[in-house]
Structure 1
C-alpha cells in the first residue's frame, strides 16, 4: 500500500508539473562545468549543489535580489531571550506532493541536518534544540547567545518529514561512504521549481511549481540544467544558441564573448576564497615519501610552501587577471576582514628553500596534492601552477586532479595530505569561516571543513566568544586576533578571491548573487 501511495504521489506531482508547462512556455537552458552531485540538500555543502537545490527546496530565511535577509518559510523571527529565537512559520505552504508544511518538518530537518551523513552540520551547530509551539511557530535554543543565527540559515533547506519517511530518506545521502537513497535522485521541496527528470552528470529538467506560495518575478516555466565539462564546448553551445546562459565563463573567453553582438557577460567579485590545506594532524602523512613524521606539523614547512607559490603569476597567466590574491581566509566584502592583515607573505623561493632546509628537508620531499577540475575557476590549472612552483624549491607534487564527484568524497573523508578548497561565507561574516574552516574539528559541525585539522586552542576560544558577542567593536577585535593567530601559524595557504563570470544571451535578464547562486525565479527571458 505504501508503494502504491508513493507512485500515486509521484504521478500527481508529474501531472501538476506538466500542467504548468504548456504552449508558449518559456524554457531556460543553463550550462555548467559540473553537476549538482545530489538532489539531497543536506548531503554536500557545495555552492553549486546548494544553488541548484535552492530552487527546489527553501530555507526559513533567504536572501533577496540585493543579498539582504528576507522571509522565506518563516515570515518573521526575533530573539525572545539571549539564547532563544522564535520563528513564525508561513501558513498555507505545500510541498510539491501536496503535503502541508508545518513545524514538524522544521524539527525533522534539524534532526536530519545534525545527524550522521550530513554535510551541513555547521549550519545548525549553534542550535541546541528546537521546540514546537504550534504547527506554525517554533522556538530555537542556542548553546550561547548567537546574534547572527538568521544569517546562518539561508542555505539550510527544509525537507518534508512525511516524504523522507515514506521514501526511506530519513538520513542524508552520505557522499563520503557512497551511500545513496531516494533523495539523491528525486526531490520534494516547497520551492518555485520541481524536478521533472534527472540524468546525473548529463542534464536535469525542472518545471515551475504551479502551487508555489510566493511571487515569481521572472517568466521562466522550465529550466534545463546541462552539464558541459569541456570549456570550448560550453562556449560554443552559447554562441550557437543551444544554451541561454552559462557559468563559469573560461577566463580566456571573457573578452571574446563581451564583443559578441547577441551575448552579454556579467562580472563581479565572488565571496569565495580559494585556498590550500595541509594535513597537520597525522603523525605520518598518508601520501608522502617522508616516513615516521609529518612535515606539515612544522610551521617552517607550511610557510615554505606559502612563499614558494607565485599568486601574482597565477593571477596573470592562469586567471587572466580574474582573481584578487588574498592574505586572509575571507574577502574584503565579509564582516571582519582586516585591512592591516591583507598583505601576503612575499613570494620568495630562496626563503622557501631556506625554511625547508631548516626544517630538515634540504632536498625537499614528495607529497600528493588533491584537486578538482570542474568545481572552481581554472582549478586544475591552478594546481598545476602550484605544483610547478613547488618543484622549483625541491618539492615533488604528485598531482591528482579529478572530477568533483570523486574528489569531494575523498577529501571529506580526510583521505588527503595536501588539497585545494574554496569557501564562501554565506553569512557574510567572519564567524562562518572561523567556525567551519579554522576551528579544531569537533561536535556541532565545528571544523567540519578544516580537512587538515589545523588546531589552535586560542582560535577555538575566540571563535566561541565571537559567536555570542553583541558589541560589534569587541567582536571585530576578537575576529582580528583570531585571523592574526591563524596567519602567524600559516594554518592554511590562501590563494585568491575568484571573480564571477556569467555569460548569456542578451534577451536573458538574471540577478548575479555574490555567493554565485543562480535564482531561477528572478530570471526573465524576453
Structure 2
C-alpha cells in the first residue's frame, strides 16, 4: 500500500511538472506572437511618411489667382483652401466655410470655421475672403478666373466669420465655381509683402510650402494645424520635375518615386509589374487645336471649318492615345448629359472633298502655309501636331511644326502669339467653364480673339438659368454653334493613367481631382 501510494504521488508530481512546463511553453509562444505583432505595428509606424511624385512639368508659378497651368495647380491645390470643395461624388461640401445659406436667389452668406490659421499663424477671417475675391476681380490681377465671378456685385463682411456675396443675377454656377483650386483664400499680408504669390505660398491647406528648387523639385510638409482632424496622413510630399516620360517610367519602376502620371503606351509597359498598380479613369480633359481668329487666313470661319473636316479624330484616338480616348467636343463626354453627340456633327465627318470646296470658297483653292506650335515636353501634343501636319496636307495646307519649352508655351497661349496652338483643356465640373470661360467674348481664358454676340447671349443665359433641363437645352445650342464657328477644333478626351507603388495606401484618383492625397499614407 505504502509503495503504491508513493508511486501515485510521484506520478502526480511528474505530471504536474510536465503540465507546468507545457503551460509555460504555451505562454512563451503567445508572448512571442504578441511581441511579433507589436513589432509589426511598430515597423509600420516607422515607415517614412514621405510621398515622392514625378511631375511632367516645372510649375509655371504658385499664385492661385494668376496661374492656370496644371503643373502649378497640382501643387498650390495642396497648399490653399477655398470656401467649399467637391467630395468624391462631386457634391459641394464645406471647406473653410462650415455652412452657407441663400436668403434669396442672388445672395449667399458663408459662415467660416473659427480658429483656422494660415501657415504663418494669422487667423482666417471674413476680411480675408473679401480681399481674396476682390483681388480675383481686380483687372490689375488679370486673374484667369475673374469671369467665373463676373456676377458678383459686392462682397460684405457681416461679422468676423461671416461674409456675404451679392450677385447681380441668379447664378447656377456660383457654388461649383467656388470649388475651383484657383478660388483660394489668400493672406493679404503675404501678397503685400511679396507683390504676388508666384514664388511663395501661404495658405490654410493640408500641406505647407517649404522649398522650390528650380528644374528639380518642390517640397511640401504636413500642416500640423490643419482644420480637418486626422488629415493629412503624410509628413512630406516631394514633387520631382521629370519632363521625359522615360525618366518617370524608370523612376516608378525602381521605387525612386511612389507615383506618377503616364501615357497609355507607358502604362501598358508596366501593367503586369507586381509592385506597381496602374489606376485609370476617364478624364474631364480634351485635346484641342486653338486658332488665332484675328490672323489670316484663320479669320475666315470657312477655313477653320475646312481644317475641321480634314482632321481625322479617330486616327488621333488610335495613334496618339493608343485607342484609350473618346472623340470630344468642348464639353467632355465624361460630363454625361451636358455633352452633345459631336460625332454626328457635319464638321466631324472627315470629308476631304468638302474641306477643299470650303477652302476654294474662302479664296484658298491652292491651300496655304501655316505654323503649328506645340509644347515640346508633351509627347501627345507633339504627336498630334505631326498627325495634323499629315492630314491637312491632303487639302493643300502645308504646316510647319514649332516645338517650344513649357514656360514659353504658357506665354504663347496667354498672349495669343501663335496662329495655331495644340493644347489640352479641362471641361471643368460645369458646362459654364467649357463654354463661357474659354469662348465668351469676355471669358478669362478666351485667348483666341473669338467673339460672337449670339454665342455670348446663349452662355450668359445658361449661367443664370437655374432649371437644369432648360440649361441643358441652352448649352446644347451653344455647343453646336461653337462647333460651326470653330474657334478651336476639339479633338479627343483621353483616359488618364497614374502609376502607383504598392507601398502607397488609399490613393484614389477622381475625374474632377486626380491628385487627392490627404488620405494617402505609406506602408
Question: TM class, shorter-chain normalised?
Answer: 0.7 to 0.9
Q: Distance in 1 between matches of 2:188 and 2:364?
A: 55
Q: Which of 478, 482, 488 matches 1:482? A: 478
Match of 2:265 in 1: 252
In the TM superposition, residue 23 of structure 1 has moved relative to its aligned partner by 7.2
Confirm or deny: 8 A CA contact 1:67 1:513 kept in the other structure. Answer: no
Change (3 A) 1:401 1:515: farther
In the TM superposition, residue 516 of structure 1 has moved relative to its aligned partner by 4.6
Q: Distance in 1 between matches of 2:367 and 2:519?
A: 52
TM-score (norm 2): 0.86
Indicate the SS of the match to 1:522: coil
Count of paired positions: 472
Change (3 A) 1:206 1:338: closer
1:264 aligns with 2:277: yes
Match of 2:158 in 1: 133
1:494 aligns with 2:490: yes
Match of 1:370 in 2: 373
In the TM superposition, residue 342 of structure 1 has moved relative to its aligned partner by 4.4
Indicate the SS of the match to 1:163: helix
Confirm or deny: 8 A CA contact 1:336 1:430 kept in the other structure. Answer: no
Q: Distance in 2 between matches of 1:448 and 1:486?
A: 17
Q: Distance in 2 between matches of 1:273 and 1:59?
A: 26
Q: Which of 254, 270, 279 matches 2:292? A: 279
Q: Distance in 2 between matches of 1:121 and 1:338?
A: 24
Q: Distance in 2 between matches of 1:387 and 1:340?
A: 26
Q: Which of 135, 138, 143 matches 1:118? A: 143
Larger Rg: 2
Q: Distance in 1 between matches of 2:231 and 2:77?
A: 16
1:162 aligns with 2:189: yes
Q: Distance in 2 between matches of 1:39 and 1:488?
A: 37
Confirm or deny: 8 A CA contact 2:327 2:343 kept in the other structure. Answer: no
Q: Distance in 1 between matches of 2:430 and 2:195?
A: 36
Q: Considering only aligned residues, what root-mean-square deviation do their CA atoms show, in Å?
A: 1.9
1:65 aligns with 2:88: yes
Q: Distance in 2 between matches of 1:316 and 1:24?
A: 42
Indicate the SS of the match to 2:282: strand
1:354 aligns with 2:360: no
Confirm or deny: 8 A CA contact 1:364 1:393 kept in the other structure. Answer: yes
In the TM superposition, residue 341 of structure 1 has moved relative to its aligned partner by 4.4
In the TM superposition, residue 237 of structure 1 has moved relative to its aligned partner by 0.7
Indicate the SS of the match to 1:54: helix
Q: Distance in 1 between matches of 2:174 and 2:105?
A: 12
Confirm or deny: 8 A CA contact 1:336 1:479 kept in the other structure. Answer: no
Q: Distance in 2 between matches of 1:80 and 1:123?
A: 21
Confirm or deny: 8 A CA contact 2:220 2:238 kept in the other structure. Answer: yes
How is 1:404-415 mapped onto 2 (pairs within 5 angstroms)? 404-415=406-417
Confirm or deny: 8 A CA contact 1:336 1:429 kept in the other structure. Answer: no
Match of 1:78 in 2: 101
Match of 1:14 in 2: none
Q: Which of 458, 462, 466 matches 1:466? A: 462
Confirm or deny: 8 A CA contact 2:53 2:240 kept in the other structure. Answer: yes
Confirm or deny: 8 A CA contact 1:78 1:87 kept in the other structure. Answer: yes
Q: Distance in 1 between matches of 2:58 and 2:246?
A: 17
Q: Distance in 2 between matches of 1:48 and 1:334?
A: 23
Match of 1:93 in 2: 116
Q: Distance in 2 between matches of 1:78 and 1:365?
A: 57
1:433 aligns with 2:429: no
Q: Distance in 2 between matches of 1:373 and 1:59?
A: 33
TM-score (norm 1): 0.86
In the TM superposition, residue 340 of structure 1 has moved relative to its aligned partner by 4.5
Q: Distance in 2 between matches of 1:186 and 1:94?
A: 17
In the TM superposition, residue 488 of structure 1 has moved relative to its aligned partner by 2.2
How is 1:120-519 mapped onto 2 (pairs within 5 angstroms)? 120-155=145-180, 156-169=183-196, 183-217=197-231, 219-247=233-261, 249-280=262-293, 282=294, 285=295, 294-326=296-328, 328-334=329-335, 337-344=338-345, 345-374=348-377, 378-426=380-428, 428-440=429-441, 442=442, 447-508=443-504, 509-519=506-516
In the TM superposition, residue 152 of structure 1 has moved relative to its aligned partner by 0.3
Q: Distance in 1 between matches of 2:341 and 2:87?
A: 32
Q: Distance in 1 between matches of 2:99 and 2:376?
A: 41
Confirm or deny: 8 A CA contact 1:105 1:158 kept in the other structure. Answer: yes
Q: Distance in 2 between matches of 1:302 and 1:145?
A: 36
Q: Distance in 2 between matches of 1:228 and 1:331?
A: 28
Whose helix fraction is larger, Structure 1's or Structure 2's? 2
Deviations 1:256-308 (A, max 9, x none): 2110111010001111121112122x3xx2xxxxxxxx222322211111111
Confirm or deny: 8 A CA contact 2:49 2:521 kept in the other structure. Answer: no
Confirm or deny: 8 A CA contact 1:217 1:523 kept in the other structure. Answer: no
In the TM superposition, residue 358 of structure 1 has moved relative to its aligned partner by 2.3
Q: Distance in 1 between matches of 2:356 and 2:81?
A: 51
Confirm or deny: 8 A CA contact 1:91 1:136 kept in the other structure. Answer: yes
